[in-house]
């Protein structure tokens, strides 16, 4: 942190100062300061003045007058940095960082009020007294955490959380629901019954899969941006049909009664009932908007159609029935109804493989737009807790622009926030998978900690220094007992051999599971599913057959290349070997991948390894994912 290195006259980096006398007050340029006063403090040229609370006055053994500062942080001094515009510019954050500075660094007094954290931003604003600046949270520097200040006046609802019968969870970008399933398991360990009430994903198959496993969930197969628009429309509908004062509802009905005939003159079909609602373009006519799925009187469900709101808004009774039923069944969450939101907004614009990344304005890249949508959904629904997951690249790309934005948005909405970096491998998975997590908790809730690792795994990710401390780990001096890592053999060695062109989707195992992991992962039915590899084409298959079945084998073991240091080169003494098709055995892309330094192309995995992060497309051209002993990539089941 820049404040950490602060030194008005270079003293704070030196050995601790010896104090000769302590004082209750001090005078600078004729102005008297008391202990606990807050003041601006001289910064380096060109920088805004620092802000401190004076917690000690003393005279050094060299007779120099000094004070101890406890620093306040502006949003731009925190991890939020260049997104400080998101945060009210009167708002500062108290820290535990203290250091000693010459008394004459103090410039002038500043009136800083402490305000109780308030979930309701408008209410909070009303409570801010006349002051220059205010603070309602503390900032913990090494962990980049924003949290409540210990204060007995802050009421924490979550202390009674266990008594609440059911907590509802919205899983955004749910895929087939791994994250929410894990979160619900975790909550149940803490005695909280968390239920995934709603899930949103634009992938049809992911939605079908989630629905099969979670019949209790309202699964919405739509884009998150459409979901957000729908939430806003749904609130309007609920306001109109559920919350509207009876009087105005009655006068609406009168208006309905006045024109029944004209309506029926025009209508050939009569609405039986509405069965669904969405925001989008369900008829693919490039007319996005609010649509209702209509069941027509006298027609079966084959004739159901999506109708725009404008076409059916006169059908008030059917609409009231649909909204009332939907409201009762919590078809969609209204603000405050989702206790938790979890999900990882895809930020494909930061991926290291993407050459066209927008470094200057990452949020203008449509591939990163979902981070804004995700935060807008949180802003609208105001859940008690948020858990976001993302790739480590959001902290690396463009100086961590997107990670900082995410924290900035949550803090501006009055959430406490805590970042954490965890590798799935450290929690008993045979896959490394390092990810960044971000908790958000409203100020009337406890900000959760991250679980400590359970398994031994060597870190392989390069993490920017500023974010090093958010890696969830035991302190060096802590006595921890970690289990051995789960290796590839522990996870898949029990599975029967299959070929590159395997097509049988369901079969019996025909083998006995040995390890705990193998036993745990088998379906209760005892059947083996999805044990099919992504089929290699003829050329790749021929290449793979030639890769030795040994640890660390890859394309460099094929004839025609030599390795100098870390780099691979063509062997001038060997003529280029060709495949049956006439194509080269070793393709050019394998030689040039990461400027010839990579051993990943056509790499074999080995039994005693933790697999690198599994990605959607099992592509052997730039990833090591060949089975140790079989000529194929891992199957879907093995990857899972
Ligand atoms: C990495 S996966 C999520 C994995 C999931 N959290 C889990 O635990 O299994 C990202 C998901 O985002 C979905 N997705 C991408 N863009 C979306 C959008 N605009 N709206 C809704 N879903 C989207 C994809 O279909 C994909 O299933």
Tell me if 147 CB under 6 Å of ligand 1.
no
Give the Å distance between the CA of 564 and the centre of ligand 1.
Answer: 42
Is the CB of 227 inside a 6 Å radius of any atom of ligand 1?
A: no
The domains of the chain, with CATH numbers, are: 19-141 (2.30.30.490), 164-221+336-443 (3.40.50.150), 225-328 (2.40.50.40), 489-639 (3.90.120.10)
State whether the beta carbon of 403 lies less than 6 angstroms from ligand 1: no
Residue 432 sits at φ, ψ, to 5 deg, of -65, -65
Tokens of 215: 């019949």
Taking the C-alpha atoms of residue 87 and residue 405, their distance in angstroms, rounded to an integer, is: 11
Q: Please give the full DSSP string across 340-408, using - where no structure is assigned.
A: EEEE----GGG-TT-TT--SS-GGGSGGGHHHHHHHHHHHHH--SEEEEEEETHHHHGGGGHHHHHHHH
d(CA 301, CA 38): 70
Quickly list DSSP for 265-289: HH-SS-EEEEEEEEEE-TT-SS--E
CB atoms inside a 10 Å sphere around CB 274: 21
CA distance linking residue 339 with residue 145, whole number of Å: 21
Pocket perturbation via mutation, ligand 1, pick of 169, 173, 207 by most ligand atoms within 8 A of CB: 173
Query: Which residue numbers are catalytic?
Result: 347
Residue of 541, 550, 556, 542 lying closest to 598 (CA atoms): 556
Tokens encoding 598: 């990579």
Nearest CA to ligand 1 atom 14: 173
Residue nearest to atom 10 of ligand 1 (CA): 173
CB–CB of 293/245 below 8 Å?
A: no
Q: Give me the pLDDT at residue 248, please.
A: 57
Q: Whose CA is nearest to atom 6 of ligand 1?
A: 174
Query: Ligand 1 atom closest to Cα of 200?
Result: 21
CA 437 and chain centroid, separation: 5
Pairing of strands 65-74, 25-28: unpaired
HEC string for 445-495? CCCCCCCCCCECCCCCCCCCHHHHHHECCCCCCCCCCCECCCCHHHHHCCC
Tokens of 383: 């859940």
Q: Quick one: pLDDT at residue 162?
A: 54
Q: Where do the H-state alpha helices sit in 109-177? A: 121-127
Burial 323-333 (b: 16+ CB within 10 A, else e): beebbeeebbb
Residue 206 Cβ inside 6 Å of ligand 1? The answer reads yes
**Cβ of residue 344 lying under 6 Å from some atom of ligand 1:** yes
Under a CB-based contact definition with an 8 Å cutoff, are residues 343 and 374 in contact?
Answer: yes
Q: Using alpha carbons, select from 100, 112, 128 the residue that is nearest to residue 40.
A: 112
- Ligand 1 atom closest to the CA of 373, numbered from 1: 19
Q: What is the dihedral of CA 150, 164, 232, 126, to 10 degrees?
A: -30
Nearest to 418 by CA among 428, 427, 430, 406: 406
Per-residue pLDDT tens for 94-136? 999 999 999 999 999 999 999 988 777 788 888 899 999 999 9
- Euclidean distance between CA atoms 217 and 195, whole angstroms: 8
Determine if ligand 1 sits within 6 Å of the CB of residue 175: yes
**372 Cβ below 6 A of ligand 1:** no
**CB contact burial 392-419 (16+ within 10 A = b; e otherwise):** bbbbbbbebbbbbbbbbbbbbbbbbbbb
* Helical (H) or strand (E) element with 204: helix 204-213
Residue 367's contacts (CB-CB under 8 Å, 6 or more residues apart) are 346, 347, 348, 349, 354
**Is the CB of 218 within 6 Å of ligand 1?**
no
pLDDT, tens digit, 9 for 90 and up, residues 197-246: 999 999 999 999 999 999 999 999 999 999 999 999 999 999 999 987 66
* Alpha-carbon torsion (4, 9, 15, 17), positive or negative: negative
Pocket perturbation via mutation, ligand 1, pick of 177, 199, 203 by most ligand atoms within 8 A of CB:
203
Q: List the chain residues with pLDDT less than 50.
A: 1-7, 9-12, 260-262
SS3 assignment, position 336: coil
- Give the DSSP per-residue string, 30-66: TEEEETT-EEEE--STTSPPEEEEEEEEEEETTS-EE
In sequence order, the β-bridge partners of residue 305 are: 294
Tell the residue number behind the tokens 């938790």, with chain if given. Answer: 340
- Output the six-digit token pair for 93: 């954050």
Please report the atom of ligand 1 found closest to the CA of residue 344. Answer: 6
């Amino acid at each position: 942190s820049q404040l950490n290195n602060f030194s008005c006259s270079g003293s704070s980096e030196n050995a601790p100062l010896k104090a000769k006398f302590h004082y209750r007050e001090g005078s600078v340029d004729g102005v008297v300061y008391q202990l606990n006063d807050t003041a601006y403090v001289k910064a380096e040229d060109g920088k805004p003045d620092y802000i401190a609370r004076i917690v000690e006055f003393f005279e050094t053994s060299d007779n120099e007058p000094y004070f101890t500062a406890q620093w306040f942080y502006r949003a731009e001094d925190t991890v939020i940095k260049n997104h400080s515009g998101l945060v009210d510019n009167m708002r500062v954050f108290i820290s535990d960082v203290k250091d000693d500075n010459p008394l004459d660094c103090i410039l002038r007094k500043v009136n800083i009020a402490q305000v109780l954290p308030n979930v309701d931003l408008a209410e909070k604003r009303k409570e801010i007294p006349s002051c220059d600046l205010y603070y309602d949270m503390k900032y913990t520097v090494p962990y980049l955490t924003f949290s409540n200040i210990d204060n007995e006046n802050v009421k924490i609802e979550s202390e009674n959380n266990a008594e609440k019968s059911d907590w509802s969870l919205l899983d955004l970008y749910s895929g087939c629901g791994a994250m929410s399933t894990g979160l619900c398991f975790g909550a149940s360990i803490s005695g909280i019954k968390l239920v995934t009430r709603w899930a949103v994903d634009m992938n049809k198959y992911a939605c079908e899969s989630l629905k099969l496993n979670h019949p209790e969930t309202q699964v919405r197969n739509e884009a998150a941006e459409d979901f957000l628009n729908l939430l806003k429309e749904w609130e309007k509908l609920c306001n109109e049909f559920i919350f509207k004062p009876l009087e105005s509802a009655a006068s609406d009905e009168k208006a309905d009664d006045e024109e029944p005939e004209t309506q029926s003159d025009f209508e050939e079909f009569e609405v039986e009932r509405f069965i669904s609602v969405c925001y989008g373009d369900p008829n693919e006519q490039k007319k996005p908007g609010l649509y209702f799925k209509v069941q027509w009187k006298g027609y079966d469900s084959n004739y159901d159609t999506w109708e725009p709101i404008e076409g059916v808004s006169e059908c008030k009774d059917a609409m009231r029935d649909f909204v009332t039923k939907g409201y009762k069944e919590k078809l969609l969450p209204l603000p405050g109804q989702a206790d938790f939101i979890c999900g990882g907004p895809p930020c494909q614009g930061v991926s290291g493989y993407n050459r066209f990344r927008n470094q200057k304005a990452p949020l203008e890249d449509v591939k990163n737009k979902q981070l804004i949508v995700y935060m807008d959904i949180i802003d609208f629904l105001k859940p008690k807790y948020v858990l976001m997951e993302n790739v480590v690249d959001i902290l690396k790309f463009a100086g961590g622009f997107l990670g900082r934005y995410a924290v900035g948005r949550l803090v501006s909405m009055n959430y406490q926030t805590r970042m954490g970096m965890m590798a799935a491998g450290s929690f008993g998975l045979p896959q490394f998978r390092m990810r960044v997590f971000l908790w958000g908790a409203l100020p009337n809730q406890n900000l959760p900690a991250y679980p400590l690792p359970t398994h031994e795994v060597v870190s392989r990710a390069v993490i920017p220094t500023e974010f090093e401390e958010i890696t969830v780990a035991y302190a060096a001096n802590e006595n921890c007992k970690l289990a051995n890592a789960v290796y590839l053999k522990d996870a898949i060695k029990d599975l029967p051999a299959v070929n590159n062109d395997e097509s049988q989707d369901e079969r019996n195992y025909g083998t006995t599971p040995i390890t705990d992991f193998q036993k745990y992962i088998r379906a209760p039915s005892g059947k083996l599913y999805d044990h099919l590899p992504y089929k290699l084409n003829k050329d790749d298959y021929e290449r793979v057959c030639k890769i030795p079945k040994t640890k660390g084998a890859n394309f460099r073991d094929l004839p025609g290349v030599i390795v100098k240091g870390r780099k691979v080169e063509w062997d001038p003494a060997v003529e280029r070997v060709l495949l049956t098709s006439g194509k080269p055995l070793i393709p050019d892309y394998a030689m040039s991948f990461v400027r010839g330094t990579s051993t990943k192309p056509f790499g074999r995995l080995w039994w005693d390894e933790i697999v690198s992060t599994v990605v959607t497309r099992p592509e052997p051209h730039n990833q090591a994912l060949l089975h140790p002993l079989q000529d194929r990539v891992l199957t879907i089941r093995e990857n899972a």
